[in-house]
Each structure stands twice: as structure tokens, then as C-alpha cells.
Structure 1
Amino acid sequence: MSTNRLTSNLSQYKSLEFILGALLTGGICLLVIFADLLFQSADKIDLSARLLAPFAHPEHIFGTDPLGRDILARVVSGGSISLQVGFISVAGAVVLGVVMGLVAGYYRGFWDVIVMRFADVQLAMPFILLAITFIAIVGGGLANMIFLLIISQWVQYARLVRGSVLSLRDREFILSAQAIGVSNFSILFRHLLPNLIGPVIVLMTLNVANNILLESSLTFLGLGVDPLTPSWGGMLADGRTYIQNAWWVSVFPGVAILLTVLGLNLLGDWLRDSLDPTGKTSR
């Protein structure tokens, strides 16, 4: 009886985890998608309305910044930058890392040594050092930020996929496919890849949240996207000098980052237990 009750409690918890994660992530994504219909320009300056407190004016629910720009509109507009960086960079890292991991794990030998030793060198390099070096050479900006995250994170997917391929390449269904003359390309992408997709999706979900944090952190430090482009990290940086007198300039972008990352992490945790049963954690 106690075991059934524990199982029921865990099932209810996981359902609540999924619902909360989906509501947070879906709600923020919908706001960002329909931002142009819901709000006026996030860059509209009104010096007569600078630093209005939250809920003090019906047209500026979250208040205004030092230039009189609406905080709510800028938070929603800035979300598009953070979500673009998060999703596009993860998609690029997945494509590159999965291909490298499949090749290294299946062919082994020379390709395995080259890919994995390069991965070891990159993993030994601190991310902040890589970011500073990269931005010093090629400059900042949205496209460069996305490229930086791709080249810094493909290694995670390559190592994950390679390890799984090594455990699958000698299984009966792969040996049978080789015996009847199936091409290596088909074996890699039609037989091996579908068996790896679960762990990859879980890692993707968690890395989207991580990349949003990285983009915000680098932009806060002046190493990210253009300061003139509304972004959560840039808004945090702009509001730090007003934190004592106008806390809302920094707090609301910070809350947006918190809710987005929380929603994605909840979804990632739920996906981990749903798609990767061997990785379930006890609660």
C-alpha cells in the first residue's frame, strides 16, 4: 500500500511539474510571439514619464526606465532576443554535436581520436575565457553570440551520442543491417539516431535554459548583444545604477529570466524521467 501511495504521489508531482513548466514556458513564448500586437515600440522614449513606479500609471504597469521607456514592453521585447539565442544556439550545437558523435562512435579509430581529443581540449577551457577571446577577435552581436554558444556546447552532445553509439554498434540489429548491405548513412541516421533521441532532447531542453542565462550574463558584462537592442541582460545592466531608487528597472527583467529558466528546467526534468527511464532520480 505504501509503495502504491508513493508511486501515486510521484506521478502527481511529475504531472504538476509538467503543467507548471508548460504554462511558464508556453506563456512567455506566446507573449514574445505576439509582442508587436500587444505593446507599442519598446524603444519609444518619453522623458516626461521617466522612472515611473510600477502600477502607478495605467499605461505603464511595470513602470518606466530612465528614458521613459515602458518596462513591460521592453521585457517582452527582450525575451525575443533571449529565446532566439537559447533555441537557435542549441539547435546548431545539436546538429554539429550529434553528427560528430555518430561518426566518432561508429567509425572509431582515427575519427574517434580526433573528435574526442579536440573535445577534451575544449572542455578544459573555461567558458568565460573562450567567450572573452572569441568576442575580442570577432566582436559581439546576436549572430556572434549564437555562434559562440554553438562552438562551446556541441561537445556535450558529441560525447553523449558517442557513448550511446559505442554501446549500440555491436547490437544484433546493427550487425544484421550491416550483414544485408545497408549503407553506413542509413545505419547512422535510421537505426542508431532514433535510439539516441531521448537523452538528446532532454539535454537540449536544459541547455536552452542554460544558454538564456549565459546570454544574459555576457550581455550584463558588456560582452553580448548590442547594448541598443532590448535584452534581459542589457536591462539588468542598465538598471544596476538605479537599483536603490528604481528597483523595478532591474527586478522585472530578472524575474522574466527566473520564470523562463524555471519553466524550461521543469520541462527538462519531466522529459528526463519520461524519455530516459534509466536516468530517473528518486525523490
Structure 2
Amino acid sequence: MSAVVSVMNFSRFKNLEFILGAVLTGGICLLVLLSDLLFPGAADRIDLSARLLAPFASPEHLFGTDPLGRDVLARVVAGGQISLQVGLVSVAGAVVVGVIMGLVSGYYRGFWDMVVMRFADVQLAMPFILLAITFIAIVGGGLSNMIILLIISQWVQYARLVRGSVLALRDREFIQSAQAIGVSDFNILFRHLLPNLVGPVIVLMTLNVANNILLESSLTFLGLGVDPLTPSWGGMLADGRTYLQNAWWVSVFPGLAILLTVLGLNLLGDWLRDTLDPTGRTSR
């Protein structure tokens, strides 16, 4: 009886995990997508007569205003466009590069494996902040360069994950049978091996989107990210740090947006991990 109750509680927790993750992530994404309709032009509209209004003090500014009189709620929603764009596009780029490198490295081994893995080891030994400072000092900041930086820093994770899985699968019977009947290496890599790697890659993607949102916010907060004139969660945190004692809402609300987005994505990532890899479930 106790075992049945334990399983039921486990199942309910997993369902709750998915629901919370989906509601948080879906709700924030929907607000961000509709930001231009909900707050047309409000994110950049300056009104010095309404500067630093407290939250809920005015029906027109539910989250208050910043030092230039701009609506904080509108800027938080508009800033999500930058953060989500950086998170999604950089992860997609890292997946493409990392998966291809991991497939080639694990399948062919030998020289290619040595080159890719030694390059990966060198990159992993370099602290991210040092890589970021060096990269931005050479090519400059901006949204595009931020995305390229995150791709460069994270393709290694996918390459190592895929390589390890390919090494475990390349000597299996279905791969040897495909080789015996003359199937091309391209088809073996992308039609036989890659479908077996989708689950772990999707889980890592979900978690890395959340991580990249945090990295973008951190770098923008340090002045190494996107243009300060462009609304972003990290930029809003940086703008409000000098007003924390008198106008806490300028920094707190974008910080909450980051917190809720990352929490939702992490919940979905945990749910996907347990769903796609039942053998790796952890008891809670």
C-alpha cells in the first residue's frame, strides 16, 4: 500500500512539475510575443514628470516607472524579447555545431576525435568570463556577437554528450548491419545514430536556454552585453542598481522575470529528463 501511495505521489509531483513549468514558460513567452500589441511604444517613451513612480501608484504604470519615467512593466515585457532571443538562438546554434562535431568525432574516432576533443578540453579549461572579455574586446558587443559568444562557449557540451553516446552505439548490431549492406556514412550518422540521441540533447537544450538567459543578463549587467539603449532584463538590472534604496522596483521586477523564466525552463527540463530517460529518474 505504501508503495502504491509513493508511486502516486511521485506521479503527481511530476505532473505538477510539468504544469508549473509550462504555465510559467508559456505565460512569459506569450506576454513577450504580444508586447508590441500590449504596450505599443511604451518601453521607450520618456516622461520626466512621472519619473520613479512607485508600483501601483498609478493605473497607467502598474510596476512603477524608472529614472526616465519609462513604464517598468512595458520594459520588462519588451526586454524579454532580447533575453529569449539570445537564449533560443544561441542554443540552436550550439546544438547544430556540437551535434555535428560529436557525431563525426565519435563515429570516425582516430585523428578527428583527437582534434575535436583536445580543442574541447582547451576551451573547457578557459573560464567563461575570460573568454567573454577577450571575445568582446576583439569583436565588440551587441546582440549578434553575444549570440556568437554563447555558441562558441557551449557547443562543447553537446559535442561531448553526442560523442559519448555515439561511441556506445557505433558497435551495436543495427549500425553494423547498416554498414554491411553499404549504407553511406551520412545516412548512418543522421538517420540511424542521431534519432537515438534526440532525448538527451533536447533535455540539455532546455536547461541551456535558461542558463543562457542568465549569462546574457549577467554580461549586460556588467556592460559587456547588448546595447544599453535596448531594453533587456540585464540592462534594467544595471540601470536600477543605484536606485535600490529609493526605487527598488526598477531592478526587482526584471529580476523576478529572470527568476520565473529560468524556473519554468528548469522545471520543464527536469520533467523532460525523467520522461525521455526513465532509467535516469531520481527519487524525490
In which range does the TM-score fall when normalised by the shorter chain? over 0.9
**Counterparts of residues 123-162 of structure 1 (less than 5 Å):** 123-162=124-163
Task: Give me the whole-angstrom Cα distance separating, in 2, the residues matched to 1:37 and 1:235.
Answer: 21
Map of 1:19 onto structure 2 = 19
Q: Answer yes or no: is 1:121 the counterpart of 2:146.
A: no
Task: Give me the whole-angstrom Cα distance separating, in 2, the residues matched to 1:278 and 1:82.
Answer: 34
C-alpha deviation, 1:62, in angstroms: 0.3
C-alpha deviation, 1:278, in angstroms: 2.6
Task: Give me the whole-angstrom Cα distance separating, in 2, the residues matched to 1:220 and 1:165.
Answer: 39
Task: Give me the whole-angstrom Cα distance separating, in 2, the residues matched to 1:39 and 1:130.
Answer: 37
Map of 1:175 onto structure 2 = 176
TM-score (norm 2): 0.99
Deviation by residue 1:232-281 (Cα, 9 ceiling, x = unmatched): 00000000000000000000000000000000000000000001123211
Moved over 2 A (4+): none
Map of 2:76 onto structure 1 = 75
Task: Give me the whole-angstrom Cα distance separating, in 2, the residues matched to 1:121 and 1:3.
Answer: 48
Q: Answer yes or no: is 1:277 the counterpart of 2:278.
A: yes
Map of 1:208 onto structure 2 = 209
Deviation by residue 1:119-160 (Cα, 9 ceiling, x = unmatched): 000000000000000001101000000000000000000000
Q: Secondary structure at the match of 1:196?
A: helix
C-alpha deviation, 1:40, in angstroms: 2.7
C-alpha deviation, 1:81, in angstroms: 0.2
Q: Secondary structure at the match of 1:140?
A: coil
Map of 2:239 onto structure 1 = 238
Unaligned stretches of 5+ in structure 1? Answer: none
Task: Give me the whole-angstrom Cα distance separating, in 2, the residues matched to 1:118 and 1:182.
Answer: 30
**Counterparts of residues 49-60 of structure 1 (less than 5 Å):** 49-60=50-61
Task: Give me the whole-angstrom Cα distance separating, in 1, the residues matched to 2:8 and 2:192.
Answer: 35
Q: Secondary structure at the match of 2:44?
A: coil
Map of 2:63 onto structure 1 = 62
Task: Give me the whole-angstrom Cα distance separating, in 1, the residues matched to 2:126 and 2:282.
Answer: 30
**Counterparts of residues 98-109 of structure 1 (less than 5 Å):** 98-109=99-110
Q: How many residues align?
A: 283
Q: Answer yes or no: is 1:36 the counterpart of 2:39.
A: no
Task: Give me the whole-angstrom Cα distance separating, in 2, the residues matched to 1:279 and 1:204.
Answer: 17
Q: Secondary structure at the match of 1:255?
A: helix
Task: Give me the whole-angstrom Cα distance separating, in 2, the residues matched to 1:114 and 1:47.
Answer: 58
Q: Percent identity of the aligned residues?
A: 86
Map of 2:228 onto structure 1 = 227
Task: Give me the whole-angstrom Cα distance separating, in 2, the residues matched to 1:154 and 1:3.
Answer: 42
C-alpha deviation, 1:52, in angstroms: 0.4
TM-score (norm 1): 0.99
